[in-house]
């Protein structure tokens, strides 16, 4: 059986043995998307990282309640307390109801997550569906004296909180340093202190997403939803809170402070953060021209891409790096991942061709232990994948007769390959290892070549030659083989 799961806790900055608060139940909360644009590469990494965690914990026998929220209100431009709501802005630009924007991009997000074989969470709460819970949270923080009302808005009093707690403990910041590096407020501001953050904002006349509250007609601050929904669905104390490293500050820092202020204690036992992705060594950003949507990855339509990359290639590529390392997307690296994944699935299929022996030179049990050890060490998927490739070499040796495996060993190896590849890493075979577009494309070429085969059988040489010559003119290299035909695109 597996070793104890050890995970890196951002809060303690060290690896800790995972001990759930109410074992075998595990509470897992992950910050989901703000649904105002098409899902992009930056959405794929946290989704896949915490999908691996969800699958792994479930495989260990834990009963995981996985909550991943949808942010559909309160996330303002530049993650700030001023400016337009990201969703309202999109609605205004496209002349839609804000909830139409939310529904459209939530559907798009689900579609992309399905393609990446990311399992749906147990609960997917919307911020806009939990306004009452958020108002109650603000009331409690006000009662505790750690927030103040100003011009119809309510702000968290960071300085006061910091007198008895450490604001900045999650992200490793110290409030005095933060204050020294920030502009002083000019007295015109509603806030007492530049680091105070909004719990409730009074809506300006043009702000269309608005609710009644004791303080004003307005909307909740962005950080509040995760405090309110995490507490509602996972309780005052729960095991794991995850998200991208970019959310550590201010989003998770503020969430932690809100919970301590309202509940009198921290809620989260282990904080986990996945690292960022870069594109050709550069940070991904709309202004940098290297912002790639997942749909563009899958159909290859972004100018930086030399070909489409299938959802499983993207998934495998992300899993080939440890979640706490940065990950650079480049065509070379993605093409290598595509080939690697093909090799894994080829070996998986080849298991059916192995003839068992009386003796075994393949150590199936050792292989299983090494894979479990890698996962138990803070989800070390790249090491696990290295062990899978080592097994690929042994499977290929078993086929050419230079390695042996017993019937019992072979049955177990098949079970393990299914378990590790499909169930835990969440990789599933794709028809050609390429995108759906490429599948359709290959299907059409195969169809033409099937028609050509039939024509040949009927000695209809004219049709047969016509198909071959036309395909050749289009750049296809068609070969007749013993089994029928083979082709590749020679351009």
Q: How far is the CB of 382 from Zn ion (least distance, A)?
A: 27
Query: Collapsing DSSP states into helix, strand and coil, what is residue 90?
Result: helix
Give 170 or 226: the residue with its C-beta nearer to Zn ion.
226
Question: Which residues are at the interface with Zn ion (CB under 5 A)?
Answer: 31, 226
Query: In what helix (H) or strand (E) does residue 489 lie, and over which residues does it extend?
Result: strand 485-489
Give the SS3 label for residue 279: strand
Pairing of strands 153-156, 147-150: antiparallel
CA distance 301 to 283: 20
Nearer to Zn ion, 141 or 385 (CB): 141
- Whether residue 399 contacts residue 350, with contact meaning beta carbons closer than 8 Å, is answered with yes
Residue 201 and residue 185: Cα distance in Å, rounded? 18
| DSSP structure class, residue 166 | -
CB 241, min distance to Zn ion, A: 8
Q: Which is nearer to Zn ion, 45 or 434 (CB)?
A: 45
Q: Output the smallest distance, CB 31 to Zn ion, in A.
A: 3
Q: State the Cα–Cα distance between residues 273 and 241, nearest whole angstrom.
A: 9
Q: Report in angstroms how near the CB of residue 68 gets to Zn ion at its nearest.
A: 10
- The smaller minimum CB distance to Zn ion, of residues 56 and 222, is found at 222
In the bound complex, what is the minimum distance in angstroms from residue 22's beta carbon to Zn ion? 22
Question: In the bound complex, what is the minimum distance in angstroms from residue 488's beta carbon to Zn ion?
Answer: 47
Nearer to Zn ion, 108 or 252 (CB): 252
How far is C-alpha 467 from the geometric centre of its chain's CA atoms? 44
Q: How far, in whole angstroms, is CA 52 from its chain's centroid? A: 9
Work out how close the CB of 230 gets to Zn ion at its nearest, in angstroms, rounded to a whole number.
Answer: 8
DSSP string, 25-41: EEEEEE---B-SS--BH
Q: How far is the CB of 43 from Zn ion (least distance, A)?
A: 14
Q: Hunting for tokens 């590469």 — which residue is that?
A: 41
Closest distance of CB 453 from Zn ion, Å:
57
Cβ proximity to Zn ion: between 226 and 257 the closer is 226
Determine if the peptide bond prior to 486 is cis (ω within 30°).
no
- Given the complex with Zn ion, which of 102 and 226 has the nearer CB atom? 226
- Cβ nearer to Zn ion, comparing 32 with 308: 32
How many of the other CB atoms lie within 10 Å of CB of 396? 16
In which region does residue 187 sit, left (phi positive, over 0), alpha (psi from -120 to 50) or beta (all else)? Answer: left
Please identify, using beta-carbon distances, which residue of 228 and 417 lies nearer to Zn ion: 228
> Hey, what long-range contacts does 484-491 have (CB within 8 A, 24 or more apart)?
484/449, 484/453, 485/449, 485/452, 485/453, 487/445, 487/449
DSSP string, 131-151: HHHHHHHHHHHHHTTSEEEET
């Amino acid at each position: 059986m597996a070793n104890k799961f050890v995970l890196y806790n951002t809060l303690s900055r060290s690896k800790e043995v995972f001990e759930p608060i109410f074992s075998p139940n595990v509470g897992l909360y992950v910050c989901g998307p703000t649904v105002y644009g098409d899902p992009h590469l930056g959405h794929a990494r946290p989704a896949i990282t915490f999908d691996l965690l969800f699958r792994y914990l479930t495989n260990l026998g834990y009963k995981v309640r996985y909550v991943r929220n949808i942010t559909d209100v309160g996330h303002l431009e530049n993650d700030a307390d001023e400016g337009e709501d990201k969703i309202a802005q999109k609605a205004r630009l496209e002349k839609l109801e804000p909830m139409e924007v939310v529904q459209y991009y939530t559907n798009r997000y689900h579609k992309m997550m399905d393609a990446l074989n990311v399992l749906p969470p147990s609960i997917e709460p919307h911020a806009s569906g939990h306004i009452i819970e958020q108002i109650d949270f603000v009331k409690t923080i006000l009662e505790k004296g750690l927030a103040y009302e100003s011009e119809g808005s309510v702000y968290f009093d960071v300085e006061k909180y910091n007198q008895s707690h450490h604001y900045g403990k999650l992200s490793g910041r110290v409030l005095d340093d933060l204050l020294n590096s920030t502009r002083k407020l000019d007295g015109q501001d509603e806030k007492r202190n530049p680091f105070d953050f909004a719990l409730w904002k009074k809506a300006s006349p043009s702000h269309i997403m608005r609710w009644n509250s004791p303080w004003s007609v307005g909307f909740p601050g962005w950080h509040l939803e995760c405090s309110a929904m995490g507490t509602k669905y996972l309780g005052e104390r729960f095991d794991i809170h995850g998200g991208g490293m970019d959310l550590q500050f201010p989003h998770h820092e503020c969430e932690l402070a809100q919970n301590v202020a309202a509940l009198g204690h921290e809620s989260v036992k282990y904080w986990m953060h996945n690292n960022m992705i870069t594109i050709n060594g550069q940070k991904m950003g709309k202004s940098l021209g290297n912002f790639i949507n997942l749909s563009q990855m899958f159909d290859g339509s972004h100018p930086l891409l030399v070909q489409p990359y299938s959802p499983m290639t993207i998934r495998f590529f992300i899993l080939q790096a440890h979640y706490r390392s940065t990950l650079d997307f480049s065509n070379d690296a993605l093409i290598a991942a595509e080939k690697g994944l093909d090799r894994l699935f080829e070996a998986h299929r080849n298991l059916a061709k192995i003839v068992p022996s009386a003796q075994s030179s393949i150590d199936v049990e050792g292989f299983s232990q090494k894979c479990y050890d890698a996962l138990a060490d803070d989800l070390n998927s790249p090491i696990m994948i290295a062990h899978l490739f080592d097994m690929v070499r042994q499977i290929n040796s078993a086929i050419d007769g230079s390695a042996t495996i017993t019937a019992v060993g072979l049955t177990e190896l098949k079970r393990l390959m299914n378990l590790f590849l499909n169930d835990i890493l969440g990789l599933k075979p794709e028809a050609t290892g390429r995108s759906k577009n490429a599948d359709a494309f290959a299907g059409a070429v195969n169809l033409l070549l099937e028609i050509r085969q039939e024509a040949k059988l009927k000695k209809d040489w004219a049709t047969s030659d016509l198909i071959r010559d036309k395909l050749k003119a289009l750049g296809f290299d068609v070969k007749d083989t013993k089994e029928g035909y083979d082709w590749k695109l020679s351009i």
